[in-house]
Amino acid sequence: MGAQNSQPFTVPEQEEIMAETGFSQANVLRLYQRFQALDKDEKGYLSKYDLENIGTLAVNPIGDRIINAFFQDGAVTTDFRMFARVLAHFRPVEGPGESGSINSRLNKLKFAFQLYDQDKDGKISRAEMLQVLRMMIGIQVTDEQLECITDRTIQEADKDGDDAISFEEFAKSVEKLNIEQKMSLRILK
């Protein structure tokens, strides 16, 4: 009775998660506590509904898209390992030598790209771009302005003229942006 509290606390699959995500032990522990706090019914997994309680996602215009990223291949729940893996994309880059890790620029870009490419055909179509722009800036502009912004965004990035943005074109178009910083949500807070 009550003996659990005297055990040293370990997170399930802690080592694997640290290796996979680059989170420190302290980070993993903090994330796990966050996970448990979100898992109000102590189910051992999170549903979309649970994730909607993350404040930074609730106020993010594409928060729904980010939430969906936790649920790959039609899953309706996310376990802690998946939770940590998705959040690792938002871990700030702490220095060189992290090129292979989940939070590298390339992986951050891939993550961002899939938030647009909802049908996963490897291209952001005009319709897909319009949807995201509507979420991000929709309330401030008219539909007509939104169509114009979409066309301009596509035109600027679309180098091969297929009226869609491939991953390469996407990466190129955001080359000058500080993706490392933009994709570093302070989700751990």
Cα dist from 175 to 1, 101, 103, 171, whole Å: 57, 19, 16, 6
Q: Does 156 bind Ca ion (CB under 5 A)?
A: no
Q: How many residues make contact with Ca ion (CB under 5 A)?
A: 8
Per the CB < 8 A criterion, the answer to whether 35 and 46 are in contact is: yes
Q: Can you read off the two tokens belonging to residue 65?
A: 């898209």
CB of 126 to Ca ion, least distance (A): 10
Q: Which residues of 50-83 are buried (b: 16+ CB within 10 A; e: fewer)?
A: bbeebeebeebebbebbbebbbeeeeeebbbebb
CB of 109 to Ca ion, least distance (A): 16
- Strand segments (E) across the chain: 123-124, 165-166
Q: Which of 15, 52, 160, 168 binds Ca ion (CB under 5 A)?
A: 160
User: Segment contacting Ca ion (CB under 5 A): 33-41, 72-80, 135-143, 154-162?
Assistant: 154-162
Query: Where does residue 54 fall: left (phi above 0), alpha (psi -120 to 50 degrees), or beta otherwise?
Result: beta
Count CB neighbours of 141 within 10 A: 14
Q: Does 50 bind Ca ion (CB under 5 A)?
A: no
Which residues 6+ apart lie within 8 Å of 134 measured at CB? Answer: 146
Q: Does 121 bind Ca ion (CB under 5 A)?
A: yes
Binding track over 64-103 against Ca ion, x by CB under 5 A: ----------------------------------------
Q: Which of 16, 52, 119, 143 binds Ca ion (CB under 5 A)?
A: 119
User: Segment contacting Ca ion (CB under 5 A): 3-11, 50-58, 109-117, 129-137?
Assistant: 109-117
Q: Does 162 bind Ca ion (CB under 5 A)?
A: yes
In the complex, which residues of this chain contact Ca ion (CB under 5 A)? 117, 119, 121, 123, 125, 158, 160, 162
